[in-house]
Amino acid sequence: MTIVLKADQLSAGYMGQSVIHDVDLEVRAGEVVCLLGNNGVGKTTTMLALSGELKPIGGSVSFADLGAKAPLHRRAKRGLSYVTEERSVFKGMSARENLRCAGVSVSAVTELFPELEKCINTKGGLLSGGEQQMLTLGRALARRPALLLADELSLGLAPLVVDRLLAAVRTAAKDSGAGVLIVEQHVRKALKYADRVYLMRRGRIELAITADEARSRIDEIERSYLSSASAQNE
Domains of the chain, by residue range, sit at: 3-87+149-232
Q: Closest by alpha carbon to 113, among 140, 135, 132? A: 135
Q: Residues for the chain: how many in total? A: 234
Number of H helices, E strands in the chain: 10, 9
CATH topology of domain 3-87+149-232: Rossmann fold (3.40.50)
Determine the residue type at 142: A
pTM of the model: 0.92
pLDDT for the residue numbered 121: 97
pLDDT in tens, 126-143: 999 999 999 999 999 999
- In 3D, which of 148, 143, 201 has the Cα closest to residue 27? 148
- Predicted confidence at residue 227, as pLDDT, reads 77
> Per-residue confidence of the chain (234 residues) as pLDDT tens digits?
799 999 999 999 999 899 999 999 999 999 999 999 999 999 999 999 999 999 999 999 999 887 767 788 888 889 999 998 877 899 999 999 999 998 999 999 999 999 999 999 999 999 999 999 999 999 999 999 999 999 998 888 889 999 999 999 999 999 999 999 999 988 999 999 999 999 999 999 999 999 999 999 999 999 988 875 454 444
Specify the pLDDT at position 17.
93
